[in-house]
């Protein structure tokens, strides 16, 4: 996620109205290099942690990168991720998007790729799903509640279920962060393309494997 300072809506003191914000937000990729004040970053993180999480476990952490040297080391990784995307899924316009509009979006993606080292702030939401606390009695009761076929499907889809559960616990906070950024006069965009090189990003940012 990348953010930069932009002009807030002058007609709405305190920031644009919530529904106007939600209906007009878009990915902002042509970012100025101006530093984002720490107090604004703190407000973004505060808004993010207000987001709901499964079971109210709140097992998230937010890694904030503002160091220019670190950003410069991340830039080649980001270029590889973007080039991979544009060569595959991003090679064609989404259904119902005309080529001209898609061309403008790709141009913005390429601009951000080529200027990533100038990104003023990068916020990486992390989530570590805790190990489930299970006992034999509970597993038996669960199997009885679901039935044998559904229980078998559930076990087979455990990896997918956990991935979806983790996402559902962190993305509400990310949306809060995006809304807060707009309200504070900051531009932002969300991405998951770094997952193409997830281990490399984790190593560069000293994020644990899990």
pLDDT tens by residue, 11-30: 555 455 888 888 888 999 99
Residue 199 has pLDDT above 80, yes or no: yes
How far is the C-alpha of 152 from the C-alpha of 158, rounded, in Å? 10
β-strands 121-127, 60-65: how paired? Answer: antiparallel
User: Taking Cα atoms as reference points, which of 107, 116, 111, 106 lies closest to residue 77?
Assistant: 116
Give the domain 2-132+171-205 fold. NADH Oxidase (3.40.109)
pLDDT tens by residue, 73-105: 999 999 999 999 999 999 999 999 999 999 999
State what percent of residues in the chain have pLDDT above 90.
Answer: 62
């Amino acid at each position: 996620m990348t953010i930069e300072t932009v002009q807030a809506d002058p007609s709405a003191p305190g920031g644009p109205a919530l529904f106007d914000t939600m209906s007009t937000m878009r990915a902002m990729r042509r970012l100025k290099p101006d530093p984002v004040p720490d107090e604004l970053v703190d407000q973004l993180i505060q808004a993010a942690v207000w987001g709901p999480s499964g079971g109210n476990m709140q097992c998230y952490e937010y890694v904030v990168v503002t160091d220019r040297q670190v950003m410069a080391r991340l830039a080649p990784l980001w270029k590889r991720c973007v080039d991979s995307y544009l060569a595959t899924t991003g090679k064609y316009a989404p259904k119902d998007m005309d080529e001209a509009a898609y061309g403008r979006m790709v141009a913005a993606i390429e601009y951000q790729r080529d200027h990533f080292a100038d990104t003023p702030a990068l916020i990486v939401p992390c989530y570590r799903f805790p190990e489930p606390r299970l006992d034999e009695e509970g597993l038996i009761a669960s199997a009885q509640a679901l039935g044998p076929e559904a229980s078998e499907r559930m076990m087979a889809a455990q990896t997918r279920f956990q991935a979806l559960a983790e996402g559902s616990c962190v993305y509400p906070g990310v949306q809060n962060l995006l809304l807060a950024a707009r309200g504070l006069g900051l531009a932002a965009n969300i991405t998951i393309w770094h997952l193409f090189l997830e281990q490399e990003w984790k190593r560069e940012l000293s994020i644990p494997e899990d």
